[in-house]
Homo-oligomer: A and B are copies of this chain.
Amino acid sequence: MDATEQSLRQSLSEKSSSVESQGNAVRALKASRAAKPEIDAAIDLLNKLKLEKSTVEKQLQSIITSSGNGSLNREAFRQAVVNTLERRLFYIPAFKIYRGVAGLFDYGPPGCAVKSNVLSFWRQHFILEENMLEVDCPCVTPEVVLKASGHVDKFTDLMVKDEKTGTCYRADHLLKDYCTDKVEKDLTISAEKAAEFKDVLAVMEDYSPEELGAKLKEYGITAPDTKNPLSDPYPFNLMFQTSIGPSGLIPGYMRPETAQGIFVNFKDLYYYNGRKLPFAAAQIGQAFRNEISPRQGLLRVREFTLAEIEHFVDPENKSHPKFPDGTVNNETLGYFIGRVYLFLTRLGIDKERLRFRQHLANEMAHYAADCWDAEIESSYGWIECVGIADRSAYDLRAHSEKSGVALVAEEKYAEPKEVEKLVINPVKKELGLAFKGNQKNVVESLEAMNEKEAMEMKASLESKGEVEFYVCTLEKNVIIKKNMVSISKEKKKEHQRVFTPSVIEPSFGIGRIIYCLYEHCFSTRPSKAGDEQLNVFRFPPLVAPIKCTVFPLVQNQQFEEATKVISKELTSVGISHKIDITGTSIGKRYARTDELGVPFAITVDSDTSVTIRERDSKDQVRVSLEEAASVVSSVAEGKMTWQDVWARFPHHSSATADE
């Protein structure tokens, strides 16, 4: 909490006391039937104090709004974006005619086109340019795989239930909402209390179920819908469960991430890559998380498209092969941060509202050793859209162990290496005689000695002939004599090093990126008449759902023919487009196309030439019928800028049109 907020809260609480006591004073004067001038003076003072209190209140409110998250403006902005998105079918709640299912959404035609453009660019930017090995694995996954990966045991959120209705809530969300509300909307709480709530918000991800439960009780938090008491928090597994095959005996889950499909294929992929490291595999596909109470629209959903990269490296050498290109910096994680930055900004994400943040230890998933998030600022605050995690060797080790198939890489030495290996040989016969039934425990403890312990024992045995030795499984010391064990170091030739590769995983939440992109590209501008605000999505051509619209100015056969010619040419150069032959005014048709984020509009107003309009500048040029498609395609594909077009072709004034 900054100093200003603290002093304002302090001052507000003082002003409130003053108002209260002056109010009491006025009431006392009235009760004692004091003289009117006296009462009027007291009332004047009360009004003055109330005004002072209200001024401080406004100051505090404005500080909270701007530094906190400006929730009111943000909500209005979000509402405008979401209304436009739903009205134009970018996305809609799924199964709407059946009143929907929380956390499931459909992408309509423009949303699909944007998604398909984002995924194509992702495939180009990562898989093709980086020569990654793409795989495509099933969503239905047998339990054994997700048991090994830890998801069956650990992929949970803490849940509380309304004790009367059984309605479920995410425990941390209730606490977070309560604290956020207090901090942002309750002006009456003291500076100390506000600081406490902010503290809770900062550390709550670290709470155990018990601590979280205690906080909910301490604050008296109840079920938001009914105000009924809540159960204690308990873990709920977020995977959708099912059963594979007709017997009902093979439990399965819908995958919660696409990564496991890559890990279980490591061996084949490593061979496919000529047994060389590093290499990356990638997968685009659906993932499923049965969220307890989905909210925030497209940001927390129960089914979503992930695009994940698993970059396998030698843990002793995490340098990236493209380092010599100098593109970014000297190690894999850094290289990916750079590539992700380029990917997101080229899509149209605002550079100023994109940051990379290292996870705190308490935020990391059960498999991660280090994690950097690409966070994008939206009306919901900073949203994790890409996680770049160092999963180390966690998953490959887990699957090696569970499946019995070694998921390892080898480094062949140029020349065989001579290595010294510790060899501990317990002499079982002597140990059996000495320790009888305890022999096995002693043998295991001897074999488990590290190099230092073993060499110390060797020295002691050589000098003293015997030594005291603690056997932890017996919880006591035993006496080891010289004839009971031989300890030595032996030289061996090794031809290769066998190791489990580490994995760096950049994981992209495609739906989240698309939603943030919608917010960053959305703006409004007054109509020409100035009587309304028009919505514009300023998508870069790369992601725009349609690249171009074609409008015959009026409906006649001549213009219709010209429109057909242009449409055919646009198709042949691969530019997606839409023909709008509705009779409405050109101005209205431009407005409709702006709202879909279409960057270019061709208006057919003659049978020899047409105008091309650029969405953001609203500038128009006149181009011959034959050139129109190729000009649009050049700008849309970035081979030419709009400035180039503006410099080359005669300008067209829209005075004649009705925009």
Contact = CB atoms under 8 A, between A and B. Distances in A.
Nearest to A250: B101
B571 A128 contact: yes
Contacts of A109: 133-135, 269, 272
A138 interface: yes
Nearest to A292: B246
B89 A139 contact: no
A135 B159 contact: no
B128 A576 contact: yes
Given A244-B302, A578-B131, A98 B288 contact: no
Contacts of A89: 268-269, 272
A144 B100 CA distance: 11
A261 interface: yes
B241 A142 contact: no
Contacts of A128: 571, 576
A97 B264 contact: yes
A41 interface: no
A242 B242 contact: yes
A272 B108 contact: yes
The SS class assigned to the A binding surface is: mixed
Interface string A304-345: 000000000000000000000000000000000000000000
Contact of A116 (B123, B137, B166, B407): B123
Interface in A123-160: 123-124, 128-129, 131, 133-142, 144-145, 159
B115 A136 contact: yes
B244 A236 contact: no
Interface residues of A, number: 79
A567 to B, nearest CB: 10
Contacts of A625: none
Nearest to A253: B242
A124 B286 CA distance: 22
A4 interface: no
A111 interface: yes
Interface in A182-220: none
A96 interface: yes
Nearest to A157: B246
Interface string A262-288: 001101110010100000000000101
A356 interface: no
A95 B116 CA distance: 28
A631 B288 CA distance: 45
Nearest to A105: B138
Contacts of A69: none
A254 interface: yes
Given A96-B264, A303-B139, A290 B246 contact: yes
A140 B250 contact: no
Contacts of A264: 95-98
B399 A97 contact: yes
A112 interface: yes
6 contacts: A95-B264, A96-B265, A140-B302, A240-B244, A242-B254, A244-B290
Given A97-B267, A120-B120, A243-B290, 16 more contacts: A95-B145, A101-B140, A101-B142, A109-B272, A112-B136, A128-B571, A138-B302, A139-B139, A140-B288, A159-B246, A168-B246, A236-B246, A241-B243, A244-B290, A244-B302, A286-B286
